[in-house]
Amino acid sequence: MALPVLSSSGVKFRRVLAHFPQELSLAFAYGSGVFRQAGASAGHGENNMLDFVFAVDDSVTWHMMNLLKNRSHYSFLKLFGPKQISSIQSYGAGIYYNTLVPCNGRMIKYGVISTDTLIDDLLHWKTLYVAGRLQKPVKILTQNENSKLQAALVSNLKSAVTAAFLMLPESFSEEDLYMQIAGLSYSGDFRMVIGEDRSKVQNIVKPNVPHFQKLYSNILQDCPQVVYKHHLGRLEIDKSPEGQFTQLMALPRTLQQKITYLVDPPGKNRDVEEILLQVAHDPDCGFVVHQGISGIVRSSSIVQSAKTILTAAARVVPSSPVPVPDEPRDCRQQGCVLGSPVASCKPF
């Protein structure tokens, strides 16, 4: 089963890719600059920052080439070279972000992650950082023929459905399911407490239900544990202990380990299957799963946010028609021609 490619005009996003080294195993755009969101920012999609993730097979080589093309995108860390940048990338969620980059008349942010790290996150939810973004609608811009990556992308969607089932009642709407899925990667994220809009999940899902359906309808139709009443937009799942045990055993490895840690008293060292069987009989099974997910997200979001201080620090931001929080500097000082078909900032 191939990952659905969401239809919409991707020309403006692919034009951005032309500014970067082309050795990408996967590139996608995501967020409010790509898909309409409800709430305060809904009317400002054309001004919102465009967010990208680039997966690369060799991070050191890719950063070396990107430093030659786009040196001004990097913070002071560019002084230490591509090996050190790649080393910093490996911490936290394994992704390195360059932010507030002017490109083709828009501000963009892009993250670089190694293909192996991405596959590990998709399969095992080691950090649920990029995997969580790929559980929501994204715009795939390019993808190579890596069959392992393709299988991991689909596995991630199936895992999201399984985890959501465990936290939902016996009968629920499609929108309930997508709200639960979209909220997985925000569970435990400290930014949802101190900075982000608390209605963010609802704002993501409500205007984009058709996009979620395109991502998940085949998985729901093929799942033996759910009755999918597509014409009614309703689903019914098996909430028996046996059904929940089957779902728990299908969860990604890191989440199983987190659940085991939460439930098993120190020193008993029971095997994972025995503990998950106990959880399957627990009336609070869904809460335990939620706590396990929160534990994964909390640690990765804290480290990643701290790392962003380094990757964004002391980077000069050229002026742009897009409002940015930092004081802009005269774009002409860096040779940046915003609004032209191939606008970009020259390295300094």
pTM: 0.84
Is 158 inside any structural domain?
yes
| Domain span at 205 | 11-334
Contacts of 342 (CB under 8 A, 6+ apart): 15, 18, 19, 104
The pLDDT score that the predictor gives to residue 9 is 54
Q: Does residue 338 have a pLDDT over 60? A: no
Minimum mean pLDDT range among 56-70, 153-167, 259-273: 259-273
Q: Does residue 58 have a pLDDT over 90? A: yes
pLDDT digit string, tens, across residues 224-235: 989 988 888 899
Cα distance between residue 85 and residue 64, in whole Å: 9
Is 195 inside any structural domain?
yes
**Dihedral angle over CA of 189, 191, 194, 199, nearest 10:** -90
Task: Burial-class residue 232 by CB neighbours within 10 Å (0-12, 13-18, 19+).
Answer: exposed
Contacts of 305 (CB under 8 A, 6+ apart): 190, 191
Question: What is the rounded average pLDDT of the residues 260-272?
Answer: 83
Max mean pLDDT range (42-56, 69-83, 266-280): 69-83
Task: Burial-class residue 188 by CB neighbours within 10 Å (0-12, 13-18, 19+).
Answer: buried
Q: Does residue 200 have a pLDDT over 80? A: yes
Is 106 inside any structural domain?
yes
Task: Burial-class residue 303 by CB neighbours within 10 Å (0-12, 13-18, 19+).
Answer: middle
Residue with tokens 């991405």: 118
Is residue 236 within 8 A of residue 170, CB to CB? The reply is: yes
Cα distance between residue 111 and residue 88, in whole Å: 13
Q: Does residue 276 have a pLDDT over 70? A: yes
* Local confidence band at 12 (pLDDT 50, 70, 90 cut-offs): confident
Cα distance between residue 168 and residue 43, in whole Å: 32
* Local confidence band at 130 (pLDDT 50, 70, 90 cut-offs): very high
Q: Does residue 21 have a pLDDT over 70? A: yes
Instruction: Work out the percent of the chain whose per-residue pLDDT is above 70.
Output: 81
Choice between 216 and 8, residue whose per-residue pLDDT is larger: 216
Is 5 inside any structural domain?
no
Question: What is the rounded average pLDDT of the residues 261-280?
Answer: 87
**Tokens, residue 72:** 């001004």
Is residue 44 within 8 A of residue 107, CB to CB? The reply is: no
Is 253 inside any structural domain?
yes
Q: Does residue 71 have a pLDDT over 80? A: yes
Instruction: Work out the percent of the chain whose per-residue pLDDT is above 90.
Output: 64
Choice between 299 and 248, residue whose per-residue pLDDT is larger: 248
Contacts of 81 (CB under 8 A, 6+ apart): 64, 67
Question: To 10 degrees, what angle do helices 253-263 and 272-280 make?
Answer: 70
Give the chain's mean pLDDT: 84
Instruction: Dump the DSSP string for 90-127.
Output: TSTTSEEEEEEEEETTEEEEEEEEEHHHHHHHHHH-SS
Total tally of structural domains belonging to the chain: 1
Q: Does residue 113 have a pLDDT over 90? A: yes
pLDDT digit string, tens, across residues 84-104: 999 999 988 999 999 999 998
Cα distance between residue 285 and residue 271, in whole Å: 18
Choice between 3 and 345, residue whose per-residue pLDDT is larger: 3
Is 177 inside any structural domain?
yes
* Local confidence band at 20 (pLDDT 50, 70, 90 cut-offs): very high
pLDDT digit string, tens, across residues 281-321: 999 999 999 999 999 998 888 888 788 777 776 554 544 44
pLDDT digit string, tens, across residues 176-191: 999 999 999 988 665 5
Could you tell me how many helices (H) and strands (E) the chain has, helices first? 14, 8
**Tokens, residue 25:** 């195993």
Phi, psi of 96, deg, nearest 5: -115, 120
Q: Does residue 249 have a pLDDT over 90? A: yes
**Tokens, residue 6:** 């969401």
Report the DSSP pairing between strands 50-56 and 171-173. Answer: unpaired
Report the DSSP pairing between strands 226-229 and 171-173. Answer: unpaired
* Local confidence band at 1 (pLDDT 50, 70, 90 cut-offs): low
Is 116 inside any structural domain?
yes
Is 145 inside any structural domain?
yes
Phi, psi of 56, deg, nearest 5: -130, 145
The pLDDT score that the predictor gives to residue 345 is 41
